[in-house]
Amino acid sequence: MNTKKWLAVGTCVTALGLFSACSDDESSPVVPVTPDSSSAIAPESSNANPNSSADVGGSSSSATAPVPTSSSDAEGVVDSSFTNMGVSEIMYNAPGGSALEWVEVYIKKGPDITDMQLSNLRLDGAVSFNFPTGSLKYGEYVIVTNDVNLFNQTYAGKLPAGCKVYGPWDKDPKTNAVAKLVNEGDVVEVKLKGEGDVSAAFSSQPPWPSLADGKGRTLVYRGSGNEADPNSWGASAVENGSPCAGGDKVLDASTVRLNEIKPYALGVSDGWVELYNSGSAPVDVKGWELESKLKGKKWTVGGANTVVPANGYLLLEATADVFGEGLFLSDNGDEIYLFEAVAGTRTGKETSLLISAGKQSSGIVEVAGGTVAQGAMATETPGAANSALKAGPIFISEIHYHENENDLNDLEFLELVNKGDAPVTLVENVNNVPQGWKIEGVNMEFAATDVIAAGGKMVLFSDSLKAKESLLRVRYSIDESVPVRFYAGKLSNRGETVAVKKPYSYVTKADNTKQWYYEISDATLYSDRWPGMTEADGKGKSLNRKDFTTTGYGSAVWSALAPTPGK
């Protein structure tokens, strides 16, 4: 949400609560809607320069071209008449316990930036940083880091001439120390003139490459696809990555992937692992290694049949014949990795799957836009193409991710709906331990008082508006029976994964903290490049759900309509 915006309700407004012209004079009278509340909903102010103006122009640089962008139907066509930013490499968990973190930024398409400060170029999201004065040319890669001295020491003698290194990024207001990239995952946004030009995700969980999680590699953008999609990223082919250098090599991906996994309870031998080969030639996986991150244990694939046919499936029973001592896949949830091995040595190629907690199988399905999604399966399909992902009863029913900047009353929000026949309390008691449901993407965890009635809705706004609930209800005519709650994060203006997750189980780790496991009730990877959805990208409309038979991936289940939170 643009934190400079105000929602005026009762101040220079019409009877419908819509914005009308007001004087900029701070002495203008304020007419409160209620005796104990302010008449304007004012999010926390931004540190951006409100008087900054774009200074973007000139022709493209003749330097080495940046990584190409996607031109698929799902991504749409990037408009090269203005500057489009990109993130090409991320070091979020350096090897050897090093505290070093950095993000590599470049111009994906469009004109050079004459002055980054005047153009209000900045990082937002996981970390914040306002770029100083100076130019950024097409074909140039720059680094923003948490520690400039440590960066220079780490890469001494390895940087190309003229490499620009900026930092440190801003302090975390909660700790008053330089902010950290959370290893579990987050989103880095690069903004130009206050808009979200790119939202780049990273994570240590499957299907993100494990080699970038403290094992010596960086995350590298493959050059096409949505930067919020893990399939658009790979582990760097070289140790510690290649900062300030374009066209970085990425470890090749195997054509064989973990496709579906059925866990089983101890002593009940009905578990299995299904592999899929997308290649045009069969692949023998004998000697490959399967690893459980939860158990810290690995098994070597064996047995009589270890060949995955071209464009086909191989079902591996979780028995001692196939996995040596036998494979125990926990129904508490797990992170499972399959590593290619040659002559008993791992090659670096990997595939992974996050197993949802529960007795059901978890797997991967292809969704609109040429990407894939994973989660609990609606139906088990061993040895065959996967069915739809299990979904519900709580669904994301509306997403207003990019407000109309010309309408000061237009605000970011999410809407949830309960499609079940019973009310849902958004806290689960697991072995007498309460744990709230979560919404991945906006940093929200629910409390025991958060309940959505059968067939009912809940509306979520930014917590910068937490003190203004009554005015929000007036602005959007939200009935008192519809709960309104607030989240700490922010919806990306470009697109990101948003998932509603129900806690199912946990394990207690050695340090006595709990590792919780969740099943997905609903999820989407929305995009501002969805065909036919441009009116939801800062033009006053929102994404409205029209299909609740499956998860919310892909534009086919959404429409761009006028915002109707709580209706």
> Is the pLDDT confidence value at 67 over 80?
no
Amino acid identity of residue 26, one-letter, is E
Q: What is the DSSP string of 444-490?
A: EE--TT-EE-TT-EEEEEEGGGGGGHHHHHHHHT--TTS-EEEESS-
Q: What is the DSSP string of 349-384?
A: EEEEEEEPSSSS-EEEEEETTTEEEEEEBSS--TTS
Q: How confident is the model at residue 268 (pLDDT cuts 50, 70, 90)?
A: low
Strand partners for 141: 106
Mean pLDDT throughout 526-550?
92
Max CA distance (Å), the chain: 83
Give pLDDT tens digits for 213-244. 999 999 999 988 888 888 899 999 999 999 99
* DSSP-based three-state secondary structure for 338: strand
Mean pLDDT throughout 454-470?
95
> Is the pLDDT confidence value at 54 over 50?
no
* CATH topology match: 84-235 vs 256-376: yes
Name the more confident of 450 and 503: 450
For the domain with range 84-235, which CATH number is right: 1.10.3230.20, 2.60.40.1260, 3.90.1010.10, 3.40.50.450? Answer: 2.60.40.1260
Name the more confident of 60 and 487: 487
Q: What are the extents of the domains in the chain?
A: 84-235, 256-376, 394-561
Q: Please give the Cα distance from 21 to 407 (Å, whole number).
A: 11
Mean pLDDT throughout 495-514?
85
- C-alpha torsion angle, residues 25, 31, 37, 43 (rounded to 10): -30
Q: Please give the Cα distance from 141 to 105 (Å, whole number).
A: 6
Give the angle subtended at the CA of 112 by the CAs of 109 and 116, to the nearest 5°. Answer: 115
Architecture of domain 256-376: Sandwich (2.60)
Q: Which residues contact 233 (CB under 8 A, 6 or more apart)?
A: 202, 208, 209, 219, 220, 221, 222, 227
Say if residues 338 and 289 touch (Cβ distance below 8 Å).
Answer: yes
Burial (Cβ within 10 Å: 0-12, 13-18, ≥19) of residue 88: buried
pLDDT at residue 174, rounded to an integer? 78
Q: How confident is the model at residue 370 (pLDDT cuts 50, 70, 90)?
A: low
Say if strands 484-487 and 457-462 run parallel, antiparallel, or are unpaired: parallel
